[in-house]
Amino acid sequence: MASFTLHGIAVSQGIAIGRAHLLAAAALDVKHYLIADDQVEAEIARLKSAIKSVHQELQTIRNELPKDAPPELGAFIDVHSLILSDPMLSEVPLNIIRHRYYNAEWALVTQIDELSAQFDEIEDPYLRERKADIQQVGDRVLKILTGTAVNLPEVGDSGATANIIVVAHDISPADMLQFRDGAFGGFVTDLGGPNSHTAIVARSLDIPAAVGMHNASEMVKQDDLLIIDGDAGVVIVDPSPLVLAQYRARQDRLLRERKKLSRLKKTPAITQDGGYIALLANIELPGDAPAALDAGAVGIGLFRSEFMFMGRAGHLERFPSEDEQFESYKKTLVAMKGRPVTIRTLDVGADKPLDEDEQTALNPALGLRAIRYCLSEPQMFLTQLRAILRASAYGPIKLLVPMLAHAFEIDQTLSMIEQAKQQLRERKQKFDEEIPVGAMIEIPAAALALPMFIKRLDFLSIGTNDLIQYTLAIDRVDHEVAHLYDPLHPAVLFLLSSVIGQGRKAGIPVSVCGEMAGDTKWTRLLLGMGLQEFSMHPAQLLSVKYEILNSDLRLLEPQVKKVLRATEPAAVTAGMAQLQALVSEPEVREVKVASARKR
């Protein structure tokens, strides 16, 4: 068979080489037929039984989750259980059977398609990709109804399955438990994006993966030899002997470099000229904290609190209670063993509806979201503030507020924090009276009016994803304009350097917690701008640390100034190339590691 290449989205780095094992989606071959009136109750009972079986199946998987399993797996299985309990999935298909006389499979697929269409309208990329969870839950129910099941090869004692690459239309976090312990080399899916659960779990398991391949499950045949280039998001089917040899050599080199990188976990991130850089982690759940510590993070630079507020359709209360939130924040602090934790207040709104029946704004990205939403729900906001403040009695917390743009928003937020403090004083509950309060700088107006932020707040955190998106008026997940999303646009570089420079001049800490912080392409650029705090996914931390250990600020700063002065794309690109060339990229040098430890 002739070799060919498939292109998708790179979500988990590395090289995987192995034989394809195809997983068929149950929804792809569902029978559609109408039932008689006297068959309705039997069909309803069949669907209810299938849903109950999946509930039990998920609970069993959750209970038997190994202690060393990535925390994301347990959290995602919980999300799937909540989705299964939602009336939109557990009740509406039953009504479709009653009123339209569809068979159980057809009724379920009809409702899944309807919910998927609703999620397609959501602007936020993370939430839009949550439709995959609904489809995965539905697929599990369909497999019970149709008598099919996930059929993965047995993992033998010899570890022979390590060269198997799973190819599927999509795969659920629960099924991904079978990827543990290096049993499988990697996986390829038709669906998914950089924020899909598939991608997140792939990174946490450190398995090479490529998603968003569209029709890979149709084009790849069982036992085809595959190469996954996780860095490029490319899958090579039936490679030539020469290409295979090149990738095997590259795979061996990456494994050697990764082993050497792991030696840097306890090494301080110090540049060659003695500058200390703080490397922190972005997390979404308390269970993520151990992975941050294991990667060598000196703290949490971004705790995305909104994940506690989502998927609550089966709960009596619309929002999590104060005690529920407090326990979550406290658990994170305890897990971080005295290291600082930056908690971002609720970042949802028009593009991240908490309820299915909420109306989507005409332009969600510019609508009632983040702090605007919180200020419109004062009791909910006060509840979260009290929970965060109470947790501050158990360790160092920094309170981060997203999407601030106006002085009155800052003042109103600070007033509500003071109100929450007073409520706790009246209850005689302990908290950190001097808890630092900071702002996400993600709107160009905030970056351009920074003095009013510096005057009122204790620290700043740049959200590069939204800052770039708003500066360039580009939705980077819209394939029609995604090519225009450019971190090196002169306007973006100006805003970044301006915020970092003004913060340093005023003596106020500035961090970057967007994707630029974890991408080694931008490490030297940000260092040369004067950035001293980077916050990223734990899996990215060691690679960034390596860049820092091999950087000299005395060389970087003059070259970055040249890049910032450039106004033409070609000049910016040439300046970046010279910046990268200032420091070679050999293997990790033990001499540098040793000298960094001495410092």
Question: Is 513 known to be catalytic?
Answer: yes
Judged by phi (left if over 0) then psi (alpha if -120 to 50, else beta), residue 223 lies in: left
DSSP state of 370: T
Q: Which amino acid belongs to residue 287? A: G
> Distance (Å, rounded) from C-alpha 125 to C-alpha 476?
9
CB–CB of 571/493 below 8 Å? no
Catalytic residue check, 374: no
Helical ranges in 403-514 per DSSP H: 407-427, 444-448, 450-456, 464-472, 490-506
- Residue 516 CB neighbours (<10 A): 24
Q: What is the largest CA-CA distance in the chain?
A: 82
Residue 16 burial class via C-beta count within 10 angstroms: exposed 0-12, middle 13-18, buried 19 and up: buried
**What are the start-end ranges of the H helices in 215-288?**
216-219, 241-262
**CA atoms within a 13 Å half-sphere pointing along the CA-CB vector of 483:** 1
Q: Which one from 80, 374, 513, 537 is the annotated catalytic residue?
A: 513
Q: Which residues pair with 536 in a beta bridge?
A: 281
Q: Which of 21, 197, 374, 537 is catalytic?
A: 197
Count other Cβ atoms within 10 Å, centred on residue 98. 14
Q: Which residues are registered as beta bridge partners of 303?
A: 283, 343
Rg, Å, the chain Cα set: 25
> CA–CA separation, 388 vs 397, rounded Å?
8
Burial (Cβ within 10 Å: 0-12, 13-18, ≥19) of residue 416 = middle
Owner of token pair 């959501």: 122
8 A C-beta contact, residue 313 and residue 86: yes
Sequence letter at residue 551: S
Catalytic amino acids? 197, 513
